[in-house]
Chain A
Amino acid sequence: MRDRRRTALIALPVLILVVLAVFPFLWMAVSAFKPLSQLYTIPPRWLPSPPTLDNFRNVLFESNIPRYFVNSLIISVGSTFLALVFAIFAAYGFARFDFRGRSAALAFVLIGQLLPTATVIVPLYIVLNYLGLINTYLGLILVYLILTLPLSVWMLTGYFRSIPKELEDAAIIDGASQLGVLFRISLPLVTPGIIAVTLYSFVATWNEFVFALSFATEKEMKTLPIGLAEFSTEFDTDWGAVMAASFVMTLPIALIFLVMQRMFVGGLMSGATKG
């Protein structure tokens, strides 16, 4: 009985919470399918009737968004992969070996994750400029390692630590090299960690704004977030197109999330409770 009364009591707050969380997202989706005449009306129309694909046609065929989409994809995949390669070695080193300065190095990695990006954009620009990497894929891929590498190392270290050391010792007694152990024994066992790190890095780089704004200024090299921000200028904004482009940009993230949701939240929760 107590349970039923509780259910009734929390129904309203739960409803408010759901509306609050979902409504802006729905409003974006709905607006993306509205023709111009239905976007700019008072009172606003709740649903487009009939829904139109005009905004998507604009975005996909008459704007630079497809190019930005490809740029974002190349940069995100590149940086995610590069971070993963470096992080696998570093995390294994942190998890399996004890050496002087180990905890200091690990602390440095963690602090790197917290570094406010605005404090380093000026020197990074100068360095990239010197190396001829402004407005290149490689430039942003390298810079994005600041976002992806520290957390990848940190997370994978935890995963490697959870593997029983006896497994590795057994392989070493059987004559495997240290690298052989890493690739044949440990790496397959941390697959969930690899997937979690890959997803995290992809999402973080896909959404990144400040570095992209500063280091990719040419039309051919811009990424999706910058393209989206450019759509809305102060006086003349095609809101239907902005919402359609937002929809397009959210799709890959939504797909990743739908497929991996269980693990994503599960991993986060276990990390949080382990302390």
Chain B
Amino acid sequence: MTLRNINPGIWFILPTMLLLAALIVYPMVSTAQLSVTDANGAFAGMRNFNIAISAPSTRLILFNTAYYVIGSVVFQLLLGILAGILLNQTFAGRSLVRSLMLIPWVVPGIVAAMTWAWMFHTDYGIINYMLMQVGIIAEPIGWLTNPNTVMPALIAVNAWKMFPFVAVMVLAGLQSVPEELYEAVRVDGASFWHEIWHIMLPQLRPVLVSITLLLTIWALDGITIIYSITGGGPANRSMIFPIQIYVQAFEYFEFNRAAALSVVYFLFICVIIVLYMRVFAAQEKD
């Protein structure tokens, strides 16, 4: 085959494919290689994995990661679905409200993190002040320093940041629901809740299935908020997997261990994606 016979489409995509191979495929192969060698490049078998996995903090970090991801995704979905349904109703000022709702999503992640850190401030934070005014708490809570409140606080920030994305998707999904469906149940005197439960949610199912996967992956990759607010503290209570990789690599300079963690983390994510696809692909067939 001569060069002339090659489909011109290949030439168009070739530069991009080479670039992506260099930026994505090569680093991944290299990570795998680093994970089974020592600092001098000699083969080390599974030693890096053993050290990384048997570290006493590993269980806590796994727990935190699951806690953060599940908590974030559940509240992002709940808030986003509610907001989407709400903004699909007709009321005065709807387009203004729709725009305002997008603010959390548009604000840079680091800005959201800093703003919430200030609002969660133990002594001068507005959140403690308001809760005390209403009488929900008697004295200030150290939201970001108390091991029991740090994760819920961080999950709240992440839920706030991403719920508009869910709302926009839900809104788009609802707009493609045919009006006849509503009319049909309204004739039967169905309540608003009935409409939500029996029309909107079933119609939104495909949208929700795909955004849940996206939200999960984004939450798993969620370094910005946690690293900038707590750095994983207090005492690793908010340390999650990706931050641990960063810390191993750039604070302890244990590149091989960090690579081993990356491999474990990557496989972990692959397993989640495959399981998720299996479960939902199977349900779609039914």
Contact = CB atoms under 8 A, between A and B. Distances in A.
Partners in one complex: yes
Interface of A: 3, 6-7, 10-11, 13-14, 17-18, 20-22, 24-25, 27-28, 31, 39-44, 86-87, 89-90, 92-94, 96-100, 102, 105, 108-109, 112, 114-127, 142-143, 145-146, 149-150, 153, 178, 206-207, 209-210, 213-214, 224-225, 228-229, 231-232, 239, 242-243, 246, 249-250, 253-254, 257, 261, 265, 268-269, 272-273, 275
A269 B172 contact: yes
B61 to A, nearest CB: 13
B118 A93 contact: no
A42 B109 CA distance: 28
A82 B28 CA distance: 23
B114 A246 contact: yes
B13 A105 contact: yes
Contact of A24 (B23, B160, B206): B160
A97 to B, nearest CB: 3
B69 to A, nearest CB: 12
B30 A273 contact: no
Contacts of B99: 261
The 8 closest A-B pairs by CB, nearest first: A97-B9, A93-B12, A118-B242, A90-B16, A123-B30, A123-B27, A99-B7, A272-B172
Interface in B5-33: 7-13, 15-17, 19-20, 23-24, 26-28, 30-31
A122 B34 contact: yes
Given A86-B19, A114-B214, A116-B221, 13 more contacts: A18-B97, A24-B112, A31-B118, A89-B15, A94-B12, A98-B7, A112-B24, A120-B31, A121-B245, A124-B27, A126-B30, A127-B30, A142-B23
A229 B116 contact: no
A145 B16 CA distance: 10
A21 B101 contact: yes
B154 interface: no
A44 B263 CA distance: 48
24 contacts: A14-B97, A24-B104, A41-B124, A89-B16, A90-B17, A93-B9, A97-B8, A105-B17, A109-B16, A109-B20, A114-B214, A116-B221, A120-B262, A127-B27, A142-B23, A146-B23, A210-B224, A210-B246, A232-B114, A232-B228, A239-B118, A243-B118, A250-B111, A253-B106
Given A108-B20, A228-B114, A116 B266 contact: yes
Contacts of B97: 14, 17-18
Given A153-B16, A269-B168, A114 B217 contact: yes
A250 B114 CA distance: 12
A11 B20 contact: no
Contacts of B2: none
B119 interface: yes
B258 interface: yes
Contacts of A31: 118
A161 B129 CA distance: 55
Contacts of A109: 16, 20
B149 interface: no
A127 B124 CA distance: 45
Contacts of B111: 28, 228, 246, 249-250
Determine which residue in A42, A90, A124, A273 has the highest number of CB atoms from chain B within 10 A of its CB, and name it.
A90
A254 B106 contact: yes
Contacts of A13: 82, 86
Main secondary structure of the interface of A (DSSP, over half): helix
B102 A265 contact: yes
Contacts of A20: 160
B92 interface: yes
A17 B83 contact: yes
A28 B26 contact: no
Contacts of B243: 118
Determine which residue in A22, A122, A268 has the highest number of CB atoms from chain B within 10 A of its CB, and name it.
A122
A249 B13 contact: no
A120 B223 contact: no
B241 interface: yes
B271 interface: no
A94 B20 CA distance: 15
Contacts of A41: 124
Interface string B239-266: 0011101100110000100110011011
B106 A257 contact: yes
B266 A94 contact: no
Contact of A42 (B89, B90, B129): B129
A12 to B, nearest CB: 11
B283 interface: no
B246 A24 contact: no
Contact of B108 (A112, A207, A214): A207
A124 B99 CA distance: 38
B121 to A, nearest CB: 7
A22 B265 CA distance: 35
A39 B124 CA distance: 8
A90 B110 contact: no
B133 to A, nearest CB: 8
B126 A44 contact: yes
